[in-house]
Amino acid sequence: MPMFKFVTIYRKVDDEQALENFFSGTNLPLAEQLPGLLRTEVSRISDKPGGQSRFHLMYELYFESREAFTVALATEPGLALMQALKQWDEARIVTMFYAESFAEEALTQA
């Protein structure tokens, strides 16, 4: 059964500490207060095939459905989260998108 996912991807910036402070001090605590949040996943991006990536971090929030996410965004932490992300989005440092997520077990060969 698919889950609904809200993803933010942070680009690399000159002041990585400011980005880390925002993520750890604002984005993460607000997101963790969202009702209906099933799980989160943080990925620190090291590089890409062929060289250095322009991205620094990816943060994924999983919900049962788009409706559950919409309800979560209408709460005080949800509104505060989107307001806080707005300045980073407008500066083109954060990219945000929605996705349906499907989990599958990897097939292993013995």
85 in a domain, yes or no?
A: yes
Assess if residue 20 is contained within a domain.
Answer: yes
The answer to whether residue 15 is domain-embedded is: yes
Domain encompassing residue 16? 3-101
Q: Is residue 107 part of a domain?
A: no
Q: Which pTM does this prediction carry?
A: 0.87
Distance CA 107, CA 110 (A): 10
Asked if residue 109 is part of any domain, the answer here is no
If you average pLDDT over every residue of the chain, what do you get?
A: 92
- Provide the number of structural domains found in the chain: 1
* pLDDT tens string 25-66: 999 999 999 999 999 999 999 989 999 999 999 999 999 999
First to last CA, the chain: 28
The CATH code of the domain that includes 92 is 3.30.70.100
One DSSP character per residue, 53-107 reads -SEEEEEEEEES-HHHHHHHHTSHHHHHHHHHHHHHHHTTSEEEEEEEE---PPP
